[in-house]
Amino acid sequence: MRSIHVALVGLGFGAEFIPIYLHHPGVASLTICDPDDRVLQEWGNRYQVERRARSLAEVLAASDIDAVHLVTPISLHVPQTLAALAVGKHCACTVPMATRIADLQAIVAAQRESGKNYMMMETQVYGREFLFAQQLVESGAIGKLQFLRGCHYQDDEGWPWYWKGLPPFWYGTHAIAPLLALAQTRAEKVHCFGTGTMRAELVQQYGNPYPMETAIFRLAGTDIAAEATRSLFHVGRDYQEGFYVYGERAVYEWPQVAGEEPVLFRIAPLEGLKGERGRPVTAERVRVPDYADRLPAEIRRFTTASVYDETNPHLSFLQGGGHGGSHPHLVHEFVQSILEGRPPRIDAVTAADWCAAGICAHESAIRDGALVMTPRFDEG
């Protein structure tokens, strides 16, 4: 297979991926899909996309379309993913894969049954800060991993209806995925507390009383614990999706304020200690490389801030720079995994592990911090 036909479904955040698919050398054609005709025509005209569909059913009925990328509201992820796999299409889906364990299991089973690729498009593990941290871990610069911490603070007042009162860890992957990806394992068990007060109106939809949750996970097969904290309402913190890596030799900390650079602490070797109390530690702000060189030349520019399509020189839509330049990396991994006939890096089992950690954390919070064991998905 040298190229594939792709459909992009849901053109809110999803519109950011239009020019990337249009320019990816492994994509033969792009179909865009949204039931909102104004949105569909606006994006279609702006990027001169000929193939436009008003429903997923139309996309799934098109026999030449190989793969769909879903960027639709959360409650649609499960039925749409199952529908795409059922008709033999590869499926990428934005986060979260699902918000119930049974649905994660259903998608893992459907993926196996179909033999097609499933990939969850987790932006945090393809951002340049993550790719840099991954190099620090793999090169040994961090030393033995001792602890990991992740966070995602966001104020979701005024967002579409399905966000209203959402349990924080049902959308926990941005805080949790980098930790599990760096440790290359799953969360085995979790204790989590809900914290703070949420106004009654927000509790109704999901029965979730917590604006914020904080969880501590034991990572399977390791001696490492990882902590993650997530807020969605009633917390006066500016937006942040970050992670912190604590190793025996060095520590990598996410910048406190957006726009700053991350900090790398390095501690002197034990051998140098000659009777003093504690070892010297250096702190350095690090300029993280962009990693666009890992991408085909045609889509490298989509890792950086303002992206304009040459056919639309007056475009004012900024994209790509958000989420650490991850969008073209995600598209590339999804497309290449299909072309190369291999599972994508964030396959169904990996995605289920990352989402299950958050779902189990919320269950623990509802039970006032009780121990919750996470299910396995790799034993089907």
Ligand X SMILES: NC(=O)c1ccc[n+]([C@@H]2O[C@H](COP(=O)([O-])OP(=O)(O)OC[C@H]3O[C@@H](n4cnc5c(N)ncnc54)[C@H](O)[C@@H]3O)[C@@H](O)[C@H]2O)c1
Binding site for ligand X (CB under 6 A): 9-14, 33-36, 39, 56, 71-74, 76, 94-95, 123, 160, 323
Nearest distance in Å: CB 276, ligand X: 45
Q: Give the pairing type, strands 281-285 and 263-267.
A: antiparallel
**Length of the chain as a residue count:** 380
Q: Whose Cβ is closer to ligand X: residue 84's or residue 295's?
A: 84
**Cβ neighbour number for residue 182 with a 10 Å cutoff:** 25
Shortest CB 322 distance to ligand X, Å: 8
Q: In this complex, which beta carbon is closest to ligand X, that of residue 115 or of residue 161?
A: 161
322 vs 375, which CB is nearer to ligand X?
322
Residue 323 Rama label (left phi>0; alpha psi -120 to 50; beta): left
Q: How far apart are CA 347 and CA 179, in angstroms?
A: 17
Minimum Å gap between C-beta 214 and ligand X is 21
Nearest distance, CB of residue 101 and ligand X, angstroms: 18
Q: How far apart are CA 229 and CA 213, in angstroms?
A: 6
| CA dist., res. 28 & res. 361, Å (int) | 42
Sign of CA dihedral 159, 242, 133, 320: positive
Among residues 17 and 246, whose Cβ is nearest to ligand X? Answer: 17
Taking CA atoms, 343 is separated from 107, 142, 178, 335, in Å, by: 15, 29, 19, 11
80: its two tokens: 């749409």
Q: For residue 69, give the nearest of 3, 5, 4, 7 by alpha carbon.
A: 7
In the complex with ligand X, the residue whose CB is nearer, 85 or 251, is 85
Residue 70 beta carbon to ligand X: minimum distance, rounded to whole angstroms: 8
User: Shortest approach of ligand X to residue 200 CB, angstroms?
Assistant: 24
Residue 136 backbone phi and psi in degrees, to 5: -60, -40
30, 249, 336 from 143: Cα distances, Å:
44, 5, 32
Rounded to 5 degrees, φ, ψ at 128 are -65, -30
Distance from C-alpha of 352 to C-alpha of 245, rounded to nearest angstrom: 23
Q: Cα(172)–Cα(375) distance, rounded to whole angstroms?
A: 17
Helix, strand, coil percent values for the chain (each to nearest 5)? 35, 20, 40
In whole angstroms, how close is the CB of 205 to ligand X at the nearest point?
15
CB closer to ligand X out of 245 and 346: 346
Nearer to ligand X, 15 or 190 (CB): 15
Q: How far is the CB of 209 from ligand X (least distance, A)?
A: 22
Q: CB-wise, 78 or 219, nearer to ligand X?
A: 78
The residue whose Cβ lies closest to ligand X is 12
